[in-house]
């Protein structure tokens, strides 16, 4: 997919694109919160390292090469009741559509069922060779509302905070300058006006609130909005080098290197993969 960051209709700067949860802008009711379930079979303190990241980094963790084992899913669901829909949608027809057209598809039902419930699953993997747990969230500013990210972060940080595991956050941001930044509780290497947002920002906020110093956060520069980030070749090289050591060097470096590059290109996350003289 070729993603264009700009469009012809100018959106006001203070409005961020995100999925619409509540359609009735005049509502005075509180919206329900998504429920987050983490499989009870996963015991976080069994692992030496827990890596929390986002989809753009998946190519760094080739499943076959690392012999990753699926441990289940983090599941999050938001159920919205009918009353949360707009009056306009509920009373779109002044007569009963199904009664008049029993065999036809009711277009108002589609929007109701299509948008009424939100459900997402994010897998948890174990990288057995290094005693590492990997959780990667598929964040996407068009589909996943930040409320899900905030609540997953809240639940995850309270579950994984223990003395035995060290936490590594790995994310990409177009709000930082062209260097890889390492952030810990004691060292903030980002300078105004740089900042971190998205799932990694949300996790970092929760970890700082808890006050744990058992974490490290790596943020790499990227281009593009949340869920559609593109990384430069030099950033990829640095990440591959760092994570080859991180993930244990039982692999052949060349094989790992080629596999990571191949995956990034396949996912269209490399800035060089779509350079043509066309729009």
Partner 1 sequence: MSTEQTTLLLPLVSTGNVPQLSVDLILHSLSDEFEFVKSIDSTFLHPFVGPLDYGIDQTEPVLYTQSSFLETPSVKKFSTALELFYNKSKRVYVLQQRTPTIQGYLNNFIKDTLIPLIKELQITNISVLDSFGPLDEKIIKRKLQSNNHNHKNIDPFFSMGVCELQSIGNLVSNFDSTLRLQMDPDTSLHYTNSIFKFTPSSLIDEISTDQPIFKLTYHLLNDQNLTNLKEVKYCTLFVHEGDNSIDAKLFCEHLPDLINSSSDCKITKFRTPISWKGVYGFSELPSTFEEGIYI
Binding site for partner 1 (CB under 8 A): 10, 12-16, 18-22, 25-31, 33, 88, 145-147, 149-151, 153-154, 185-188, 190-199, 201-202, 204-205, 208-209
Secondary structure of residue 125 in the 3-state scheme: strand
- Minimum distance from CB of 242 to partner 1 (Å)? 22
Cα atoms in the Cβ-side hemisphere of radius 13 Å centred on 249:
4
33/79 with CB nearer partner 1: 33
46/209 with CB nearer partner 1: 209
226/239 with CB nearer partner 1: 226
- Minimum distance from CB of 70 to partner 1 (Å)? 27
142/266 with CB nearer partner 1: 142
- Minimum distance from CB of 210 to partner 1 (Å)? 12
Identify the CA nearest to 51 among candidates 217, 202, 209.
217
**Nearest-5° angle of CA 235, CA 237, CA 242?**
95
Give the C-alpha separation, 272 to 9, whole Å.
Answer: 28
DSSP conformation letters of 128-180: GGGTEEEEEE---TTTS-HHHHHHHHHHHHHHH--SS-EEEEEEEETTS-SS-
Buried b / exposed e over 84-118, threshold 16 CB at 10 Å, is bbeeeeeeeeeeeeeeeeeeeeeeeeeebeebeeb
- Minimum distance from CB of 15 to partner 1 (Å)? 7
User: Cα 87 vs. chain centroid, distance in angstroms?
Assistant: 33
213/258 with CB nearer partner 1: 213
Which neighbouring-strand residues pair with 115? Answer: none
CB atoms within 10 A of CB 248: 13
13/245 with CB nearer partner 1: 13
| Sign of the four-CA dihedral 92, 12, 30, 227 | positive
- Minimum distance from CB of 111 to partner 1 (Å)? 16
12/102 with CB nearer partner 1: 12
- Minimum distance from CB of 40 to partner 1 (Å)? 24
- Minimum distance from CB of 5 to partner 1 (Å)? 18
Helix (H) / strand (E) element for 202: namely helix 198-210
Peptide bond into 193 cis (omega under 30): yes
């Amino acid at each position: 997919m070729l993603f264009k960051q700009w469009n012809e209709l100018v959106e006001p700067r203070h409005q961020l694109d995100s999925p619409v949860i509540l359609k009735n802008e005049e509502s005075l009711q509180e919206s329900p919160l998504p429920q987050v379930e983490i499989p009870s079979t996963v015991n976080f303190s069994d692992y030496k390292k827990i890596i929390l990241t986002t989809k753009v980094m998946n190519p760094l963790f080739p499943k076959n090469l690392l012999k990753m084992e699926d441990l289940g899913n983090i599941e999050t669901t938001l159920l919205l009741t009918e009353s949360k829909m707009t009056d306009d949608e509920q009373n779109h027809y002044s007569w009963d559509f199904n009664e008049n057209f029993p065999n036809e598809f009711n277009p108002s039902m589609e929007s109701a069922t299509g948008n009424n419930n939100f459900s997402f699953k994010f897998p948890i993997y174990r990288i057995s060779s290094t005693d590492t747990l990997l959780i990667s969230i598929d964040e996407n500013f068009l589909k996943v509302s930040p409320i899900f990210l905030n609540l997953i972060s809240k639940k995850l940080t309270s579950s994984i905070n223990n003395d035995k595991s060290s936490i590594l956050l790995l994310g990409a941001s177009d709000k930082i300058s062209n260097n890889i930044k390492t952030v810990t509780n004691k060292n903030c290497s980002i300078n105004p006006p740089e900042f971190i947002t998205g799932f990694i920002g949300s996790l970092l906020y929760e970890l700082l609130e808890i006050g744990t110093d058992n974490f490290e956060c790596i943020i790499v520069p990227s281009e593009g909005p949340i869920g559609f980030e593109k990384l430069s070749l030099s950033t990829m090289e640095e990440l591959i080098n760092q994570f080859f050591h991180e993930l244990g060097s039982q692999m052949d470096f060349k094989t790992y290197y080629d596999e990571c590059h191949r995956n990034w290109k396949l996912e269209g996350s490399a800035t060089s993969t779509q350079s043509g003289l066309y729009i």
